[in-house]
Structure 1
Amino acid sequence: MSAADGADRSLGQLVASATTEMSALVHDEIALAKAQLRQDVKRAGIGSGAFIAAAAVLIFSLPMLSFALAYGIHAWSGWHLSVCFLLSFAANVLVAGLLGLIGVVFAKKAKKGKGAQKTVASAKETAAVLQNVKPHPRAVTASARAELAERVAETAPVARSSS
């Protein structure tokens, strides 16, 4: 838009344009907040999924894996069967611990995510900038406009010559 285009627009058109742009800005800020929250929720979902997987591995694999591993260790080493069962249990706890650690890492990432906090800070910054905006020096206030209209009404019309 050139300077001449801006001069040709009425005050109402400029206010309408500013209102439209502010509305678009607010809608964009809301969309950004939603996208950031969606990302944080996805991270939290991955973390909770890892916790659930850790629990499932620990619960469902303990009986079958413990027996298989204990009898395998007994056949390989010849150790007492109770020691072999303890070793198989320790292996299952180790696997569950690793899955739990993965869950903790993803949960911390989701907690660290600033999400909507970034958007709120941006919106506050925009509001602060808009609060400090001063009217253009050529802008006429309503009281000045009324005063000017009174002066024009008081003056007598001037006859103009066609020459």
Structure 2
Amino acid sequence: MSTADHRGGHNATEESVGELVSQASQQISQLMREELRLAQAEMTQKSKLFGIGGGLFGGAGMVAFLALQALVATVIAALALVLPLWASSLIITGVLLALVAVLALVGKKQVSQATPPAPEQAIDSVKADMAEIKERAHR
């Protein structure tokens, strides 16, 4: 076997390895694109389901609100059996307004507890830094 034959065989091996690496790279790229398309399709499907579920929850909330209104009307009608209609309506309205006031106060308390206090220490530190900078600038 001559040196030329040996080099020729070596080049053929290098080419075949290069081709294999190139094919593997192309296949990996294609596989990644396909995986991304699959992930996108899955996310699209899940988004649709999420939207439908959200709409159904919204519908359930609306029906529940209507049911509460019907319950209030029923309580007013029941009280109207022993009191005049206007009095039973006024009593239920007062009870509902009292409930609103309690819920609002509790909610306000919760929000005030969740609001972080002003960072007085940090503000004082920044003011001190600004005073120091101004003092050095005037020197």
TM-score, normalising length from structure 2?
0.40
Higher RCO, Cα 8 Å, sep 6+: 1
More helix by share: 2
